A and B are shown apart, each in its own frame.
Chain A
Amino acid sequence: MASVTFSNIGQSYDLSPDESTWALRPIDVEFKSGLTYGLVGPSGSGKTTMLNLISGIVKPTQGQIYFDETDVTKMSIAQRNVAQVFQFPTIYKQMTVFGNLAFPLSCRKWSKNKIKDRVESIADQIGLGETLGKSANKLRADEKQLVSLGRGLVRDDVTALLMDEPLTVIDPQYKAELRRKIKKIVAGKGITIIYVTHDQYEAMTFADEILVMNVGSVVQRGQPEELFERPNSRYVGNFIGSPAMNFIRGVVDQGQVSIAGQRLEVSTSVTTLGGAEIEVGIRPEYVPVMEAQGPNVITAEHISVSDMGSTRVLNCKIGDDIIRAKILRDQPVPKLGPIYLHLPSEKLLVYQDGEIV
């Protein structure tokens, strides 16, 4: 295991001089040894590029990559000794499951007995013990993905385990099972894992720390809770959480925030923002429905309900903005029309020009 450090790493596929168009804009990032990181962001945000830079599939346009103190920028893929699981299950279809799992070890010239023991042990851990003699090509997609993962896990010396949206092509009925299995397998192994996904739920389940990416930059990094509780931008607020964070336009007047003419107490100091247009952000999870007016209770227009299974989302209108409140399924659904919503001051965040104040 090793830490992975990007020092001023940038990547442009078309060698454009304009850094704003690069797949990965020059960046300094450190992934600490033994932790699990989730890289999230929409397609084209630079997640896979970052992963491929670590494994060496892509050589950076500029900057250095270090594994611990060693500069690996110019090292070949094999020398970097990372394991990578791709989006599509990558198996050696002309080999059995055993052959697939044994391949990285025979490349390292392990003895046959040692390989056999190791492969059988890993196969049992990932639930492929019964399929070792089968042709890998005849497995289901989720099993094939486990084989890909297994090839990374059999090596006991990998610098880092890189996973590039490994669940994307898996059928929904196997997805949860595979996610549970992967989590169980990697837990407690002390492997540095970098997990790319566009599914925030997946990232929050797996990662000790999440990096949210957008157009080639890391816009925020932090623990899942931190990203949920205190997104530093409108972008992160929208990306993390389901439904997305509420952003309601308002103004700061005489040191106080007001939205649609209703005053609100916020925990952020806004004294320097006199007269400015701002947005108030709050998670739908923190917006309870009230019976009557009170401190930080606003009046909104309840316009519809979205059913999300175990919860329901009340869609309400305040001014020209929509505010969503999440309630548990066993809670009564208020009638459409005027509704009182409590916006607790400790959960309210203030944003200006899309950035947190």
Chain B
Amino acid sequence: MGINFYKRLFLLPGLLLLIAIIIFPLLFSIRVSFSSWNVSRSGLDFVGGANWARMWSDADFWGAMLRLLNFGVVTTSIQYILGFMLAHYVWQGIKSGRLFRLIWLVPLMTTPSIMAIVWRSIFREDIGAANGLLKSVGLSTIGWSTEIVPAMFTIYVAEIWQWTPFMFLFLLAGLLILPKEPFLAAEIDGSSPTRTFWRITLPLMAPISIGAILIRLIESSKIFDSIFVLTSAGPGNATETPTYFLWKRSLTEFQIAYGATLALTYLIVMIIVLTIVAKVLTYISRPRGW
């Protein structure tokens, strides 16, 4: 038996695992999406593109998609800006930097559903701290879970609070490995701290920033637990995102075939959107003259 046999033999466990957890479910989902598998009829019959046509005209699904786009862009942007500010602050060498690093990591170490319960208690309309605070300064209370904008606001706040430390940690690691020489050279060239930040620090951080932003966009698109606990996608479906929509169609209403179609569409859209985002960010951070 040649060396190639052993190479393939040793690759086999990994390959089988890959087939079992990725390739098979993917292919199976594609097949299911062309069937009518639902709560009353299981099995792989063939209904052509019926599910795909339904998905295409499902305004609720596309509404959830648009909501997710808004949610992902806004929360990731705010997380990036706040995370960068904190990381830059620590990187510049503040006293008690270690303590701050630890404190800022607490949200990251909290289980999302527990964190969501804490936020829900803060935003409870009757006995929550948020309304209590508003009342104490003489303002009228807000229907955090009954009005659309405040309901979205609670989810945005919870998400930003929990994941800004991830950005902070990721970007701080990036800042700490930046070479010192360009900063010395910039100082020698007469650059002001502001110019150094915009022209040296930020562009040098571009590859790390792009990585962090993409990871957060992917992660934020999967948001489920905090919506489940905080608003249950309400009021109505005002805070519903694709993952929640998918879960409802597939696992509460057992529209398995339609759920598979939605999942595949979601996957395709995400691949396209993230590829475009990566290309755009890379283009923005290309070497420049001025």
Contact = CB atoms under 8 A, between A and B. Distances in A.
Interface of A: 55, 57, 76-78, 81-84, 86, 88, 90-96, 98-99, 102-104, 106-108, 112, 132-133, 135-137, 148, 151, 155
Interface residues of B, number: 22
3 tightest Cβ-Cβ pairs between the two chains A and B = A94-B203, A135-B287, A104-B189
Interface string B166-208: 0000000000000001101111111110010001100110100
10 contacts: A84-B188, A88-B181, A90-B182, A92-B185, A93-B287, A94-B203, A94-B287, A99-B288, A102-B290, A107-B192
Nearest to B200: A92
B188 to A, nearest CB: 5
Nearest to B204: A94
Contacts of B200: 92, 94
Contacts of A95: 199, 203, 287-289
Interface in B194-243: 195, 199-200, 203-204, 206
Contacts of A151: 185, 189
Contacts, number: 80
Nearest to B181: A90
Interface of B: 181-182, 184-192, 195, 199-200, 203-204, 206, 285, 287-290
B289 A98 contact: yes
Contacts of B204: 93-94
Nearest to A104: B189
A115 to B, nearest CB: 9
B179 to A, nearest CB: 8
Nearest to B287: A135
A286 to B, nearest CB: 44
A102 B287 contact: no
Contact of A77 (B187, B195, B287, B290): B187
B126 to A, nearest CB: 53
Nearest to A138: B287
A86 B179 CA distance: 13
A256 B153 CA distance: 99
A96 B289 contact: yes
B289 A90 contact: no
A82 B188 contact: yes
Nearest to A78: B190
A133 B289 contact: yes
A81 B190 CA distance: 7
A221 B172 CA distance: 47
Most chain A Cβ neighbours within 10 Å, of B187, B189, B191:
B189
B190 A108 contact: yes
A83 to B, nearest CB: 7
B287 A136 contact: yes
B190 A57 contact: no
B283 to A, nearest CB: 13
A68 to B, nearest CB: 19
B213 to A, nearest CB: 17
A49 to B, nearest CB: 15
A88 B289 CA distance: 22
Given A86-B185, A90-B185, A92-B182, A107 B190 contact: yes
